[in-house]
Chains A and B, each alone.
Chain A
Amino acid sequence: GDGDGDPLRAPRESMPYDVVIVGGGPAGLASAIRLRQLSASRGVDLSVCVLEKGSEVGSHVLSGNVFDPKALEELLSHENDGEGIDWAEALGESQDSVATPVREDRFLVLTEGGGLAIPNALLPGQLHNGGNYIISLSKLTRYLGELAESAGVEVYPGFAADEVLYGPSGSVRGVATKDVGIGKDGLPKDTFERGVELLGRQTLFAEGARGSCSERLMERFDLRGGRGADAQHYGLGIKEVWEVPEEKFRSGLVQHTLGWPLQTSVTDRVYGGSFLYHQEPNLVVCGLVVGLDYENPYLNPYKEFQRWKTHPSIRDHLEGGTCVQYGARVLNEGGYHSLPRLTFPGGMLLGCSAGFLNAVKIKGSHCAIKSGVVAAEAVYDALAEGDGAEERAVAATGAIDPDEECKEVTEYEERMEKSWVYDELREVRNCHAAFSKWGVGGGLAYAGLAAHVLKGREPWTIRHGASDSESTRPASEFDAINYPAPDGVLTFDLLTNLQRAGTYHEDDQPSHLRIRPGGDDVPRDVSVRVYAAPETRFCPAGVYEYVEGDELVINAQNCIHCKCCSVKMPGGYIDWTVPEGGGGPQYQVM
């Protein structure tokens, strides 16, 4: 570090690019690839850098996933001089992962011992999966990472964007990576390295749902207020990947369920359901999504998932198999009415950081990729068109023109509003709120109505009301839930399962999960006293513990970066910041 002064405040080296992309997921990589495609085809070269906090591209990507390939096909149609790439074949060759065509779509409403299947004809069109593929999104993202690198994108896994950088006029001019080599005591160690500033003429934020920089940007630029948007609502998706014996394997089967265990009566308002897909060669990927606007603080999403597996319709798929991977991540459920304004001076929000996931269709990757493509095209037009564009490009000059203003590329949002992404979201815009108001029975009825008749054209808007954290009701209004003990074969205790996420963090660093200033008493006085410490139940990694009754212990090392605590914490007492890059889960097949 710097010898003559506080090393923690030493000036940082800066690396300039035309475009800096925060987050190496499908949205971020799609935009990086598209920018380089345009550089090649339109002649003005733009330099692109992608920052990814996971140790490898794909390490932090988790998704169901039944994939609608239309946006990816659009992106890849520009490859090979317009001849395109067969993405499924390329994915297989590059990652040894099979994109499995959907052959059978089942929708069940479960009761404790049985259930009934809903005929496909009654389901909204958006839930039909013909032409879609069961994939591992982590594997697809790894493939996109390779494509990006060969297109000349500089991809840096293992680096976490910690701080958004602003210019004198308040526009975003880039991000700084986190300082590394700081001990638990907050002091620099021998290995201390100051973070680096990545400066961009435009900075694109593609951090996934509840991105740490994205949330701060939304506050700073009042992006929700600017559009009159509702607060975002989230679900917690918890997932396992199983290898199953040949006789159990049914290639291309897609099964979704509602009902037991989350909803046991028609008026139950806990939003959520399960997914279970059979992916070649012998994988069953399955999980439970629990809406985080649930009221009962005794609800334990992880244990609900474990007991769901014991249902006769579910256990049949898994028995005799081995669980090979485990993980969890929040996903957006707010849909159209929770979308913020997408742009601000110097940058924009992509993918789930903005919130394009279609919670009724249970799909968001195609929207994320499309948003990446649209963003790239808008940014390229803004930066590489017009006289003198070539001379202004960092790719050519190696520096950012200090006199150039960091524009707000509003074209991006205009084009998104006209795209099929917004069309899809508008169609189902009231569905989630209908569940919250009327429970699963009313919600399903509304979804059916919306899908077949109203298609989003209804003149009313059902508003979302309170934030997910505010929806929790005091523990005194409920009884504790008695969950069955795990058997270690079909169901597992949390810490055993957590090993399957491969998560770890450098031991000797300050906790990245920080109690907000002034919030020191909130864990004991609010969370424990009023809500019986729900964080000890909703965290799918066992991070939060209370010892001696009310003393909080944060096991930050266990964290799998799902962001649930940043959403559901009573009193919102946790500020989710990035740990040293390279830490967190090591998802391979999620």
Chain B
Amino acid sequence: MKIIVPIKRVIDYAIKIRVDASKGPLGVELKNTKMSINPFCEIAVEEAIQLKEAAAKAKKGDAEVVAVSIGPKQCSETIRTALAMGADRGVHIETKPDVRGDYIDLQPFGIARLLKGIVDREGDVDLVLMGKQSIDSDCGQTGPFLAGLLDSPQATFAASVEREDDGSFVVERETDAGTETIKLKPSGSPAIITCDLRLNTPRYPTMPNIMKAKKKPCETISLEDMVTELGLDLDDVLVPKNEVIEVYEPPPRKEGETVESIDDLLGKLKEKGLLS
């Protein structure tokens, strides 16, 4: 079984985002900001490794987990994290330092095109496991686009994934109306599953595993070279379909007012037209 896990390097989820108003649509400050693996991508890596371990335990043959990342040279560290968790090998498609992945230059459709090329290049891919969305652009589109391009069965917002003996994947999906269970049957194209928060808790990379990860292979290839190899146009990947018009920080929360008595409270509510 071969599983591809695309992973994205994004601003760390706990960091307070700063917007430089003078930079217009490019205002999100990336310089001197801590970056980490997208939390939903990390969950996808964990799920892939769990599927691999389950297959090994049930003696259902070997599985290979390949982590793929598209971004600047520091993405190799993101791939190392995935390798330290248990992925077998990495592919790093390196972009130039000024290319932005946070919905400015690289956008879901372009990424999906690139990923399709990588799936074809790898060959024999059974499953592409990805995060349901990235926490910078929050689109949630790359998985469905990829499924469309590959003509693949897909299940998004997975809260649980099981593999059956015949190679199908049974997925429980989180929806607004409740949980839905879907079976993705083997189809000649890899199944596409995007992962939601409830799916698993990613393991801690241990020191011995970090050491082992240093020896695992990671192929680095520039975006330009990869695009040429895949027979794509660089514009297909880099020219965004959507344009960011404006970025701004949410307005600061107004300070609350303390009132001295119930009468004062009623007075204030009436003043603001909240009481008839």
Number of A interface residues in the complex (CB < 8 A): 29
B206-222 vs A, CB cutoff 8 Å, 1 = contact: the mask equals 11101100000000000
Determine whether the beta carbon of A190 is less than 8 Å from that of B16.
no
The answer, among A193, A502, A589, for a CB contact under 8 Å with B206, is A193
Determine whether the beta carbon of A180 is less than 8 Å from that of B204.
yes
A156 within 8 A of B: yes
Chain B residue at smallest Cβ distance from A159 = B207
Known: A55-B34, A504-B14, A586-B12. A488 touches B210 (CB 8 A): no
Residues of A contacting B32 in the complex (Cβ-Cβ under 8 angstroms): 324, 588-589
Determine whether the beta carbon of B31 is less than 8 Å from that of A96.
yes
Determine whether the beta carbon of A502 is less than 8 Å from that of B34.
yes
A177 within 8 A of B: yes
Determine whether the beta carbon of A191 is less than 8 Å from that of B204.
yes
Determine whether the beta carbon of A193 is less than 8 Å from that of B210.
no
A13 within 8 A of B: yes
Instruction: Give the shortest distance, in Å, between B213 (CB) and chain A (any CB).
Output: 12
Residues of A contacting B207 in the complex (Cβ-Cβ under 8 angstroms): 15, 156, 159, 177, 196, 198
Residues of B contacting A500 in the complex (Cβ-Cβ under 8 angstroms): 16
Known: A190-B201, A324-B18, A504-B14. A588 touches B208 (CB 8 A): no
A154 within 8 A of B: yes
The answer, among A55, A158, A502, for a CB contact under 8 Å with B16, is A502
A129 within 8 A of B: no
Residues of B contacting A59 in the complex (Cβ-Cβ under 8 angstroms): 34
The answer, among B33, B204, B205, B252, for a CB contact under 8 Å with A588, is B33
A564-590 vs B, CB cutoff 8 Å, 1 = contact: the mask equals 000000000000000000000010110
Query: Bound complex: CA of A181 vs CA of B15, how far in Å?
Result: 22
Chain A residue at smallest Cβ distance from B203 = A191
A499 within 8 A of B: yes
Within 8 A of B (CB), among A5-48: 13, 15
A230 within 8 A of B: no
Instruction: Give the shortest distance, in Å, between B97 (CB) and chain A (any CB).
Output: 10
A56 within 8 A of B: yes
Residues of B contacting A55 in the complex (Cβ-Cβ under 8 angstroms): 34
Query: Bound complex: CA of A193 vs CA of B110, how far in Å?
Result: 39
Residues of B contacting A586 in the complex (Cβ-Cβ under 8 angstroms): 12, 14-15, 34
Residues of B contacting A324 in the complex (Cβ-Cβ under 8 angstroms): 18, 32
Query: Bound complex: CA of A198 vs CA of B205, how far in Å?
Result: 16
Determine whether the beta carbon of A499 is less than 8 Å from that of B16.
yes
A486-510 vs B, CB cutoff 8 Å, 1 = contact: the mask equals 0010000000000110101000000
B38-67 vs A, CB cutoff 8 Å, 1 = contact: the mask equals 000000000000000000000000000000
Residues of B contacting A488 in the complex (Cβ-Cβ under 8 angstroms): 252
Determine whether the beta carbon of B204 is less than 8 Å from that of A502.
no
Chain A residue at smallest Cβ distance from B214 = A154
Query: Bound complex: CA of A101 vs CA of B248, how far in Å?
Result: 36
Instruction: Give the shortest distance, in Å, between B237 (CB) and chain A (any CB).
Output: 27
Number of B interface residues in the complex (CB < 8 A): 20
Chain A residue at smallest Cβ distance from B21 = A322
Chain B residue at smallest Cβ distance from A181 = B204
Chain A residue at smallest Cβ distance from B205 = A158
Residues of B contacting A96 in the complex (Cβ-Cβ under 8 angstroms): 31
Within 8 A of B (CB), among A169-193: 177, 180-181, 189-191, 193
Determine whether the beta carbon of B208 is less than 8 Å from that of A15.
yes
Chain B residue at smallest Cβ distance from A154 = B211
Instruction: Give the shortest distance, in Å, between A55 (CB) and chain B (any CB).
Output: 7
Determine whether the beta carbon of B15 is less than 8 Å from that of A502.
yes
Determine whether the beta carbon of B203 is less than 8 Å from that of A196.
no
The answer, among B34, B203, B204, B210, for a CB contact under 8 Å with A156, is B210
Residues of A contacting B206 in the complex (Cβ-Cβ under 8 angstroms): 193, 196
Within 8 A of B (CB), among A546-579: none
Instruction: Give the shortest distance, in Å, between A183 (CB) and chain B (any CB).
Output: 11
Residues of A contacting B211 in the complex (Cβ-Cβ under 8 angstroms): 15, 154
Query: Bound complex: CA of A588 vs CA of B18, how far in Å?
Result: 14
Query: Bound complex: CA of A159 vs CA of B32, how far in Å?
Result: 22
Query: Bound complex: CA of A235 vs CA of B33, how far in Å?
Result: 28
Residues of A contacting B18 in the complex (Cβ-Cβ under 8 angstroms): 322, 324
Query: Bound complex: CA of A134 vs CA of B78, how far in Å?
Result: 32
Query: Bound complex: CA of A502 vs CA of B34, how far in Å?
Result: 9
B132-147 vs A, CB cutoff 8 Å, 1 = contact: the mask equals 0000000000000000
Instruction: Give the shortest distance, in Å, between B13 (CB) and chain A (any CB).
Output: 9
Chain A residue at smallest Cβ distance from B46 = A191
Query: Bound complex: CA of A324 vs CA of B33, how far in Å?
Result: 10
Determine whether the beta carbon of A191 is less than 8 Å from that of B34.
no
Determine whether the beta carbon of B15 is less than 8 Å from that of A196.
no
Residues of A contacting B210 in the complex (Cβ-Cβ under 8 angstroms): 156
Counting chain A CB atoms within 10 Å of each CB, which of B18, B206, B210, B211 scores highest?
A: B206
The answer, among B14, B203, B208, for a CB contact under 8 Å with A502, is B14
Residues of A contacting B203 in the complex (Cβ-Cβ under 8 angstroms): 191, 193
Residues of B contacting A154 in the complex (Cβ-Cβ under 8 angstroms): 211
Residues of B contacting A196 in the complex (Cβ-Cβ under 8 angstroms): 206-208
Residues of B contacting A15 in the complex (Cβ-Cβ under 8 angstroms): 207-208, 211
Query: Bound complex: CA of A405 vs CA of B18, how far in Å?
Result: 54
Query: Bound complex: CA of A191 vs CA of B205, how far in Å?
Result: 10
Instruction: Give the shortest distance, in Å, between A128 (CB) and chain B (any CB).
Output: 31
Query: Bound complex: CA of A196 vs CA of B206, how far in Å?
Result: 8
Query: Bound complex: CA of A181 vs CA of B203, how far in Å?
Result: 9
Residues of A contacting B208 in the complex (Cβ-Cβ under 8 angstroms): 13, 15, 196
B1-37 vs A, CB cutoff 8 Å, 1 = contact: the mask equals 0000000000010111010000000000001111000
Query: Bound complex: CA of A172 vs CA of B46, how far in Å?
Result: 37
Instruction: Give the shortest distance, in Å, between A375 (CB) and chain B (any CB).
Output: 23
Chain A residue at smallest Cβ distance from B208 = A13
Query: Bound complex: CA of A502 vs CA of B16, how far in Å?
Result: 7
Residues of A contacting B34 in the complex (Cβ-Cβ under 8 angstroms): 55-56, 59, 502, 586, 588
Residues of B contacting A181 in the complex (Cβ-Cβ under 8 angstroms): 204
Query: Bound complex: CA of A102 vs CA of B210, how far in Å?
Result: 41
Query: Bound complex: CA of A154 vs CA of B212, how far in Å?
Result: 12
Query: Bound complex: CA of A500 vs CA of B32, how far in Å?
Result: 12
8 closest A-B pairs by beta carbon, nearest first, are A504-B14, A588-B32, A499-B16, A586-B34, A196-B207, A180-B204, A193-B204, A502-B15
Chain B interface residues (CB < 8 Å from chain A): 12, 14-16, 18, 31-34, 201-208, 210-211, 252
Given known contacts A96-B31, A324-B18, what 5 new A-B pairs fall within 8 Å (CB)? A158-B205, A181-B204, A196-B207, A586-B14, A588-B32
Contacts A/B (CB < 8 Å), 6 sampled? A15-B207, A156-B210, A177-B207, A180-B204, A191-B204, A586-B15
